[in-house]
Amino acid sequence: MSDLASKRGSHIGSPRHPIRLMVGLQLLKHSSNLSDEEVVAIWVESPYWQHFCGAQYFCHNFPIEPSLMTGFRKRLGESFIPGLT
């Protein structure tokens, strides 16, 4: 996991979203064959998906803007998680 942490970038600027949330959303997106917008919308409605992504309590708000998922995938790169483009 230390390699994954190094891909997150520096701590300058706005705080990063939890790695469990970002990776969990990517896995749910890939396994359900959904778009970034769809996976974030379903996350809001599903306590199971929220728990999978590390949420302590049910949340009624979007966890992230869907466009942030694209940036996260670009930072990881195709070689890190093949097929998650």
Contact call for residues 17 and 64 (beta carbons, < 8 A): yes
Note the pLDDT tens digit of each residue in 13-72.
556 789 999 999 999 999 999 999 999 999 999 999 999 999 999 999 999 999 999 888
Contact call for residues 25 and 63 (beta carbons, < 8 A): yes
Split into its structural domains, the chain has a count of 1
Residues spanned by the domain of 66: 17-76
Q: Rounded to an integer, what distance in angstroms lies between the CA atom of residue 27 and that of residue 41?
A: 15
Residue 7 belongs to some domain of the structure: no
Residue 5 belongs to some domain of the structure: no
Residue 84 belongs to some domain of the structure: no
Nearest to 8, CA basis, from 82, 80, 83: 80
**CA 1, 70, 28: angle at the middle one, nearest 5?**
65
Residue type, 78: E
Note the pLDDT tens digit of each residue in 44-54.
999 999 999 99
Q: Rounded to an integer, what distance in angstroms lies between the CA atom of residue 38 and that of residue 15?
A: 24
